[in-house]
Amino acid sequence: MGPLCGRCAWLGLSACLLLGGAASGALAEERLGTFNFVFENDLFANTDRHYTNGVRLSWLTAAGQEPAWSRAMARAFPLLDDVADIRIEYALGQSMFGPRDITRRVPDPDDQPYAGWLYGAIGAIGSTGSRLDQLELSLGVVGPAALAAQAQKAAHRLSGADRPRGWRNQLANEPALQLTYRRSWRALASAEVLGFSVDATPHVGAALGNVFIYGSTGMMLRLGFNLPDDYGPPRVQPSLPGSGFFRPQPGFGWYLFAGVDGRVVGRNIFLDGNSFRDGPGVDRRIFVGDLQAGIAFVLGDVRIAYTHVLRTEEFHGQGENSKFGAFSLSWRF
């Protein structure tokens, strides 16, 4: 990690100590659920291009606290285990994308188009202790109605960054329907090394909709002390799975993690362009990979994590990999 990542790690540790102490002196049972906040931005990599910002807020119910109708729907999905603890997740998120040179009024037609995605989602998470299944259905909009232009302009005005001038050329409004499924096997391989715990968690996944179509697989490695039962910190899709669900151990815990995710991409609306009309778009690559590394701190009912991500080129002519960081806060109630 670079100096910026190091500062993020120390900030996360300090915040975790404060929030964890405020949450409870002793570990309590989860009664209501877990609040999750995720903020992703290429600011952490000192860039401002391509996938440039993602924000996601979610509430994950505690096991047994989900509405009866949602439990019945989740049980009807054939890939969720019948003996799994079911949790329902409600989420709201926004993602934004743009070209390398945001000062141009007419963007480079061979670069990432301007685009925004605003969505609400409902998902079911089934945990057996050794396996996690995550199913999510999101409904939203891509285009000006996603309010990405207003969000980026306001953020750049407050920070003094270059004003983005090409949003008039963004993708047109289009309803966005997306179904995503992921399965992770927690600690499929685990060991103790020099007093530290080490485990490996493989995963597979798939997405279907007019936003993304892809299949994915990969693995995450963790090394740390007093590891919580979790699957890595939550992220904005597409990404390594992660999860808002975690079960902490008593006392303070931390872990370093690293992971890889490979995707075969059949559609990416932010590169391919709108589904039903002509507009900006580029020549998408079929194979895309993510490499990530980070650190997580857990104290009481609070988990704070920072992830640094390197994403391989997503379209022909991109010329370089994408880099961005992800900060997440999870708080069990």
Tokens 């910190």 belong to residue? 233
CB under 8 Å, gap of 24 or more: what pairs does 67-70 form?
A: 70/122, 70/124
- Residues in CB range of 169: below 8 A, 6 or more apart: 106, 107, 113, 114, 280
User: For residue range 196-247, what is the model confidence (pLDDT) as tens digits?
Assistant: 999 999 999 999 999 999 999 999 999 999 999 899 999 999 999 999 989 8
Phi-psi region of 147 (alpha: psi -120 to 50; beta: other; left: phi over 0): left
pLDDT at 187: 77
Given the DSSP bridges, would you call strands 85-98 and 174-185 parallel, antiparallel or unpaired? Answer: unpaired
Tokens 């002509």 belong to residue? 278
What the chain holds in terms of domains, given with CATH numbers, is 3-24+35-332 (2.40.128.140)
At 168 the three-state DSSP class reads: helix
pLDDT at 245: 87
Separation of alpha carbons 222 and 201, rounded Å: 8
List residues bridging with 331 in a β-sheet. Answer: 35, 302
pLDDT at 2: 41
154, burial (CB in 10 Å: exposed 0-12, middle 13-18, buried 19+): exposed
Closest listed residue to residue 212, CA positions, set 239, 189, 238: 238
- The encoded tokens of residue 82 equal 């019948």
Q: Where are the beta strands (DSSP E) in 62-195?
A: 85-98, 115-127, 131-142, 174-185, 189-193
Separation of alpha carbons 312 and 203, rounded Å: 19
Separation of alpha carbons 25 and 30, rounded Å: 14
At 12 the three-state DSSP class reads: helix
pLDDT at 9: 43
What is the block-wise mean pLDDT of the chain (333 residues), using blocks of 10 residues? 44 48 51 95 93 97 82 77 85 98 96 98 91 96 98 94 95 98 86 89 97 98 93 94 90 96 98 95 98 97 97 96 97 94
Separation of alpha carbons 140 and 147, rounded Å: 12
| pTM (whole model) above 0.85 | yes
